[in-house]
Amino acid sequence: MDPHHRKIDLQSPADLAYLHTNIKSSAQQKLDLAIPPSANPTNEPDTFRPQVQQLIQEYITSTLTLALPSLAINGLDAETSMLVDDNITTEVEDESIYEPYDPRLAERLRTL
């Protein structure tokens, strides 16, 4: 990695888990729009949708694995073991919805 570029700094492994969870849920929403689970008119099991889900999961995992060298978690390099789904699901079970950072609101809070 080029030493002139800073790494993306995360505060804890839970931040990486939060990003991974959000990416997975966004991909699931897009998949549900493109291939709705109820699109199968018969009661036969759908063979196409699970294959697409597997490909999407592999793509997300490979993308995050390639991004790990550019990430620092609490000042330390990120490790590939942090992307294991078992670790992520046990660390982050909170499905809170966070608003994007609003600098005007932050400034208003500081003046209070």
Give the pLDDT confidence of 81-105 residue by residue, as tens digits. Answer: 777 654 444 344 556 777 788 888 8
Instruction: Look up residue 20 and give its amino acid.
Output: H
| Other CB atoms within 10 A of residue 17 CB | 21
For residue 1, pLDDT over 60 is answered with no
Mean pLDDT of the 62-81 span = 85
Instruction: State the pLDDT at residue 89.
Output: 42
Residues 6+ apart with CB under 8 A from 3: none
| Other CB atoms within 10 A of residue 78 CB | 22
Instruction: State the pLDDT at residue 82.
Output: 72
Read off the pLDDT of residues 30-66 as tens digits, 9 standing for 90 and up.
998 988 876 666 777 778 888 999 999 999 999 998 9
Instruction: State the pLDDT at residue 58.
Output: 93
Instruction: State the pLDDT at residue 35.
Output: 84
Q: What is the DSSP string of the chain?
A: --TTSPPEEESSHHHHHHHHHHHHHHHHHHHHHHS-GGG--SSSPPSHHHHHHHHHHHHHHHHHHHHGGGEEETTEE--GGGG-HHHHHHH-------PPP-HHHHHHHHH-
Q: Which is higher by pLDDT, 110 or 84?
A: 110
